[in-house]
Each structure stands twice: as C-alpha cells, then as structure tokens.
Amino acid sequence: MEINPQDWCSKEPIHIPGGVQTHGMLIAIDKAGVVQYMSENLSAASGIAAQDILGNTVCQLSAFFGKKEDSNFVLDLIDLATQDDIVKPVNPYPIRINNTAYNLIITPSESLFILDIEPEDSNLFEDPQNLVGASLSQMLADRDLDTILGNTVVQIRKVIGYDRVMIYKFHRDGHGEVVAEDYAMELESWLGLHYPASDIPAQARELYKVNLVRLIADVSTAPAQLLSNTERPLDLTHSSLRAVSPMHIRYLKNMQVASSFSVSIVVDGLLWGLIACHNYSPRFINYRQRETAKLIGQVLSSCVGMRDQEAIQKERIKLQGIIMEVTRSLQHNDRIPALVDDCGQKILQGFRASGFVLFFEGAIYSVGDVPAADQIEQIANQFAVVDDHSYIRSNKSMDDFTNTELNSERFAGVLSCRLTHGIKDCLILFRPEQASTVKWAGDPNKLVSIDEDGQPFISPRNSFDQWVQECSGQAEDWTDVEIEVFVKIRDELNFAIGRKIEELRLLNDKLRDAYAELDSFTYTVSHDLKTPLTAIRAYAELIQRKSTEPMVFDMAEKIRLSAVRLNQMVQTVLEYSKVGQKFVNKQRVDMSLLIAEIKDHLLMGKINDNLNLQVLSTPELEGDPILLFQVFLNVIENAVKYSHKQQVPTVVIEGDSTGQETVYRITDNGVGISEQQRDTIFDLFSRVGDVSEFEGTGVGLATVRKIMIRHGAEITVESKLGSGSTFVLRFPKEIVA
C-alpha cells in the first residue's frame, strides 16, 4: 500500500485531541454556565468528583477558584466581555487555587465557552515586558530583512531564554527553511536546513494562523483526558492547553526537545513563517509572557509585510515598463503578433525568461528558446483541462505537463496565460532548469510502519543528520508580481484585439452601406442607360434604311454594333448589382441535375464539335439554386469558351465532399491565365487573353465571386499560361447568408 506522508498527516484531527496538557486544567460550559466538558485532572485538584461537576453549573467551583461560594463570577465575566453578541474577553483573569496564583483564560468555541486554567508562576526569571521595548528597537535597527530576522532571533532568545530560537519560513509548496537562528554554544547550527511540508501539515498551519502563539511545556507528560456526558469531541482550536499530536510529540522527542514554543508570522492573512523555539528541558511561560512574545511576532509580521511590499513594488515598477512597451506596440501596429518582434526581448529580460510565445489564431509567434510547435499547442490545450483558471504556473514542467514531453533542462519553468475564455489563444513564457542543492534536516521521507493490527502508520524521522538532495528539472519559481504583470499584458492584448474587432465592425458597417449604395447607384445608372442606348441603336438603323451612301451605311453600322455591345455590358452590370440585393434562398441542391442542364445548354451551342465535357462526381450543395446555376454556368461556359480553339477541347467537372466542406474543381485545357491576370481575374470588367479573340464583358467572374461570398464560399484559380486552368469552388457545410 503506497502512502503519501503529507496527505496522511494532513488528515489527523489535531483540533480535537480529546485531552489537554497537564500543566493546566480545562472546563467547557454552555451559555447557561452548565459544565459540558472537563479535564480529568480537575477532579483531583478540586476534590469534587467528575459526575458532580459535569451537568451542573460552574458556580459550584467558585470556592475552588478562590471566590465566594455563591459567586457567579465566571458568567459575569462572560457577560461583561459580550458586546452585540460578540465575546471579546480581556484575558487573563487572575484567580487563586489553594493559595496559588492561576490565570483563567476564557475563549468562545462554537456554542460553548472554554475556560483554560494555567499557573501564573513561570520559568522565566524576568518579566519580558521589561525587555520588549529595547528588544523591538534592536530588531528594527536595520532595513535589510535578513538582518532584521537575525536581530529578532537574538532578541526573542533574550526575552524567553530558550536554548534555540529559529525563524522558519514556508515556501510555496509548504516545506519550510530555517532562515535565521540563535542558539546555545553547545548546539549545532540548523541555518539553511529545509524541512518537508509533512512536518507541519496543512491543518496545523491553519491552527497557527488562529492561535498566534503555541506552547508545549513538557513533551514527556501524558495529556489529561477530557470527560463529558456526550460523545461529541470538543473543538480545542482556541484553547491554549490543547494536547499535542502523538506524532508531533515523537517528532520532538526524536530531536531531544523537551519543550517548544512558537510565534506565528502572518503576512496579509497568510502564514509566512514561525518563530520556532526549542528547549532541551521542560519550560513553562505564562499567559502574559506569551502575549509579550506574540506582540514581538506581530511587529515582525508587520515589518516582514512592509519589506515584502517594498520588494514587490520595486519589482512591479521594473516590470511596468514592459506593459507600456506592449501598449505602445499594439497601438502603432495593425498586426497583433507584431508585439513579439517589438517587445519580445524586453519581455525575456524583464521576466528572466528564455523563451516567449504568442499562440494566436492557430499560428505561433515566438522569440528565444521555445519548444516544438506541437508541444506549444499541447500547452495551449491545457486550458481545456483547467477551465476555471486564466493562467497556468509551473516551475517543474515535467510534473505539471505530463502529457507534453518538454525538455526539463530548457523548459523547466512554464507560465501560460489564456487570452480569452473558450479558445486556445495564449501567451507562454519559458525558463530553463536551475539546478540546486537542498540540505534537509534528515531524510524528508517519513517512514511507513505497520502496527500490531497490520495497519500502516506514519512514524516521524529518527535521524536529523543533514541529508543533501540534488534538485534537477526545476526552474526558479514565478513571483506573484510576474504573474500579475503577465496577466496585465494579456489584458492589454485583449483590449487591443477588442479595439481592432470594433474597428473592423465599424468598417464593415461602412462598407456594407457603401456597397448597398453602390449597388443601388449601379442599378439605377444601368437601367437609365438602356433608354438612350435603345434610341441610339434605333437612329443608327434608321440612318441605314434612309441612306444610300456606302460610307454613311458603314458608319451607322458601327454605331449600331457599339450600341448593342454597350447594351450587353449594361445588362451584365444590372445582373451583377442584382446579386447583392437578392435574398439567398438556401436549400439542398441536386448538383447532378443542375450540371446536366448546363451541359445540355452548352452542347447545343458548341463551337467545336470535338468538345469533350466530362462530368464526374457531383455531391449536392446547400444554397440558392438560381444563384448556384449562375455560378456554375459562368465558370463552365468560360472553360468551354477559352478552350474551344484546342483540337479536342476538354472540360472536367468533379466534386468532392468532406466533413467540413464540399469542393468542386472545373478544369480546362484552354489558353490559361498569366500570373499578372490571376490577381485581377475576379475584378469587374477584367478579361483574359486577347479580347478580340474571345467574346465577353468581364463581369461574369466578378458576379461569380459575389455570389460565392453571399454563400460564405470561396473561389480560386490554379493556372499557367498556355496550360489550361482549374477553378476551385469551396463550399462550407454550414452556409453563411
């Protein structure tokens, strides 16, 4: 059976240990003052049997607390500490038991009140309150954080007199490191040693955030069990007497520690670290002395927070310039990917990265050392797995990107930020491996043992000899500021994309209006031109009938033919303008029937009797049957027209349908199209070859392209002068009107 020590330790319910440390006693009462729980050592101290205490009011213990027998002072203290249903006791409350000074500490716990009873007498020879002012001055005498931490351990040790005082800093993965220490001369240094996260599991770290000081006075004493008339365990989260986990007791004993004391360092609501104190003989510190140490811890927490904020602000200012460069690039370039060329090197320098990638619209734009294209796309695909995150952060890619075989030396660190929810477009930074040596206080892997019932259990380390681990495949971690700035770069990019989309939308609206106006103008002008053209033609024919002079007759004939040609051009322009106004009536079209009709039409009027018109597969299309007929008639008719001078004119029509689109290819063996003409072949009035050899107006293919656009389709041409042409018509399966 494989056991993860960190997971195993984190499941231990250390907030309900069922007992208290024996240097004190505990009572838990409800709001009416009825005793619901008590520590077993209370009976021996008070001389009252447990069954006579449980279920009765706490008033019966007034004499034991050195008060009058009929005193209700405990409930009076609670009532005095209650304001708007919020209980804020002013602890401690002095009491005397058998002429010995004790402190009563009241804390609320769910619907109960816990009464911790501790001795006032302490193992400290001097009240630390007399030293705290000078100690704080010494602590904060320098601005450098490492120096402040070093000063703190020296001053804390002076105040509480423990054999060893350390500052233990938590890393992002939960493991800790000794970053400052002061210790008795006969002891060895632990500075720089690392401790696994399972030494202080997650639920213990949460308790350290609630109780800022924690005392274990004597690890060798067994806890006093809690007694109650109910089987429900008592939550001792807020109790200063809470018993210690047996595993932690064994852990301290393995280090030969007899007493421990800790002060939490909490910065912005997070447990930054601990002031951890060890003594090699039992040691008790009373409540007021612990509060003095807590004050020092709170001052240190504020100092650490300020120094961290200064470092963060300095880093933020350094990286802010990159955001400005990105913004400037996006404002001055029409192409979004241009920012990689403009700002790539500065991004690499600012983020201490080795590679930068913009994955945008399926294309990869990069600078520096980056993985292969398929690996980059796999990283982009990770956002489909972590849909609730806008970025992915990793300093050990081989663990976090198991499906992507990244080179762990070159790409150990990855920071990826998604551009928009639901798509793969993203920004990615890479960092190389930063090989390091970590010195652990003993083998960080706790031993799995088997108990007498054959069940596995975790036993703490027996050896704390330095254990060296060579770490590879791991990069320097990304800081919160780097992530914050990287997300801001993403936001600038999204803003620029949104701005360009809006610009395109406005431009499209203007173009749509302009095209509509142009269509209307073209239709009106073309329609109005037909009347004078008809008159010109009629007058030319009249001149021919009236005149007997051959020269006049010929001139009139030229006028008549020009009017006929111009009338044909006007008619085609009218048809072209109507395409933009016509509603696309989408339906399934049987292309075999449509092309057969076109074939019959062309064979009836063929110029070359050797015309070979081949129709192969004809998959059906979805679109307007009238407009599709116009498309295929124009393209096939052109293929026949421009190949009719060949000995055997050949035109092949073939369609192919896939899951995404249907493609028709219409190939001829005609005159072909030059490279220059291919660029303008679909423009209005554009014609191919010698215009004197082939009839036409140059409007047909322009009309075809317009119809294709209305269908969300595309037409292209593949051709070489003198070698025929192939027109490729691509129709998507979902038609866009």
Q: Which pLDDT score, from 0 to 100, does residue 463 have?
A: 47
Q: Which pLDDT score, from 0 to 100, does residue 691 have?
A: 47
| Torsion-angle region of 503 (φ positive above 0: left; ψ -120 to 50: alpha; else: beta) | alpha
pLDDT tens column, 621-678: 998 888 888 889 889 988 888 888 888 889 999 999 988 899 999 999 988 888 777 7
Fold classified for 479-581: Helix Hairpins (1.10.287)
Structure token pair of residue 281: 């003989």
Chain mean position to CA 99:
63
Q: Which pLDDT score, from 0 to 100, does residue 61 have?
A: 92
Buried b (16+ CB within 10 A) or exposed e, 571-600: ebbbebbebbeeebeeeebebeebbeebbe
Structure token pair of residue 202: 């997650």
For domain 355-431, say whether CATH 3.30.450.270 is its number. yes
Architecture of domain 19-119: 2-Layer Sandwich (3.30)
Q: Answer for the pair 226, 25: CB distance below 8 angstroms, yes or no.
A: no
**Averages of pLDDT over each 10 residues, the chain, 737 residues:** 53 89 96 95 94 94 89 90 86 92 93 95 72 69 84 87 94 90 92 87 91 95 95 94 91 91 94 95 92 89 89 88 88 86 92 93 92 90 68 86 86 89 84 81 60 55 60 86 91 86 79 68 64 77 80 81 69 60 77 89 78 91 86 88 86 90 92 79 65 59 85 89 89 66
Q: Is the fold of 19-119 the same as that of 355-431?
A: yes
Q: Which pLDDT score, from 0 to 100, does residue 736 have?
A: 44
DSSP class per residue in 660-716 = SEEEEEEEE-SS---HHHHTTTTSTT---S-TTTS---S-HHHHHHHHHHHTT-EEE
The Cα–Cα gap between 278 and 258 comes to: 8
Q: Which pLDDT score, from 0 to 100, does residue 506 have?
A: 82
Q: Which pLDDT score, from 0 to 100, does residue 576 have?
A: 59
Tokens 């970590």, residue?
438
Average pLDDT, the chain: 84
Q: Which pLDDT score, from 0 to 100, does residue 579 have?
A: 61
Architecture of domain 583-732: 2-Layer Sandwich (3.30)
Q: Which pLDDT score, from 0 to 100, does residue 678 have?
A: 76
The Cα–Cα gap between 211 and 166 comes to: 19
Q: Which pLDDT score, from 0 to 100, does residue 656 have?
A: 93
Beta strands, E only, 9-162:
19-20, 25-29, 35-39, 82-83, 86-87, 93-97, 100-109, 112-119
H or E stretch at 166? strand 164-170
What are the boundaries of each domain within the chain? 19-119, 355-431, 479-581, 583-732
Gap between the terminal Cα atoms of the chain: 63
Chain mean position to CA 595:
53
Cα dihedral value 192, 196, 200, 206, nearest 10 = 100
